[in-house]
Every structure is written in C-alpha cells, then in structure tokens.
Amino acid sequence: MIIEKIVTNVKELEPSELEKRHKEKVYLESAHLMKRIQRVETDHGRELGIRLNEHRDLEAGDVLFMDDETMIIIDVLSDDLIIISPRSMHEMGTIAHQLGNRHLPAQFEADDMLVQYDYLVEELLQEIGIPFKRENRKVRQAFRHIGHSHD
C-alpha cells in the first residue's frame, strides 16, 4: 500500500470514531517525521510506502489510512532529551542565545525548552546554573534545523 496523503489526525476525530476501529501503529523516530518518502511497517507487520504529495512533516497521531474497520496511525518513539526549565526571562534569553549560536533546534512545552541530548549542552547548563533534567520523552513533531548562514 502506498500512502500519498494524510487522512487526518486523531486529535481531529471524535472518540467514537477511534473506538470503533482496529488500530495499527507505525512507530517512527522523530527525525523520520521529516521524510516525505519512506518504507515503514506497522506493529501488525503490514508494509507501507509513504510518498506524500504535500510538503509537510508527519506528526504523532497522523492517520495514514482509515476505512470502516481499520486505521493506521503514526506514533513517535521516545527521544533522549534535555528539558530546560529557566526560572526567569534572563535565564531563558541566556540559554536561547547560547543554543541559537550552536544552531541547535528546540521545541517548547509550557515553560520548558526541549532539545535533543548533547553532552556539551548538559555541561553548559551545569556551568551557567540553569535548571534542567534529562529524560526520554515522545515529541509530536520533528526537531527541525532552521536554515541560516553567517555570510
């Protein structure tokens, strides 16, 4: 089966629509959410080809296929993350500046900044005294590098 478009996302469906269907999941690493063309396998052994016509990243909860009985859903494997919890705007500005200079992609959840684990970032946070913790956590979207050059 070749998937060329995303049907919907589970967050857009009524609970009754979810409950009445058998669910198969495709587990992806967060970096693979950016790939428009890839071969994947569901947790039930069904092989799929993904060749998206639209230019968008996959997200956790995207429905690749749905009929009256079955739906195939994207799920994301946990990433090794540093969860940064600045106590003030000054700390947020300091760490945002430091990580921006390294072109390190970040995501935000509530008042936390999430970055993929890097021992140099861990050392930096310890050195400048900004609170953080390391944990395995699922993210909804890929960590995307923003194109930029220092010309």
- Chain mean pLDDT for the chain: 90
What domains does the chain contain, in order, with CATH numbers?
A: 2-76 (2.60.260.20), 79-137 (3.30.70.790)
Residue 135's pLDDT band (boundaries 50, 70, 90)? very high
**In angstroms, rounded to a whole number, what is the distance separating the alpha carbons of residues 121 and 110?**
21
Q: Tell me the average pLDDT across 106-133.
A: 93
Residue 145 is predicted with a pLDDT of 60
**In angstroms, rounded to a whole number, what is the distance separating the alpha carbons of residues 51 and 77?**
21
Q: Which residue has the higher pLDDT, 103 or 130?
A: 130
Residue 150's pLDDT band (boundaries 50, 70, 90)? very low
Query: What are the φ/ψ torsions at residue 65 (nearest 5 degrees)?
Result: -150, 145
Residue 31 is predicted with a pLDDT of 87
**Of the candidate ranges 57-66, 67-76, 114-123, 141-150, the one whose mean pLDDT is the lowest:** 141-150
Residues with Cβ within 8 Å of 78's Cβ and at least 6 positions away in sequence, in order, are 136, 137, 138
pLDDT tens for each residue of 42-97: 999 999 999 999 888 899 999 999 999 999 999 999 999 999 999 999 999 999 89
Residue 102 is predicted with a pLDDT of 85
Q: What angle do CA 25, 65, 20 make, to 5 degrees?
A: 75
Percent of the chain at pLDDT > 70 equals 95
Residue 101 is predicted with a pLDDT of 85
Residue 147 is predicted with a pLDDT of 52
Q: Are 30 and 77 in contact (CB under 8 A)?
A: yes
Beta-sheet pairing, 2-3 with 47-51: parallel
| Single-letter residue type at 27 | Y
Residue 66 is predicted with a pLDDT of 94
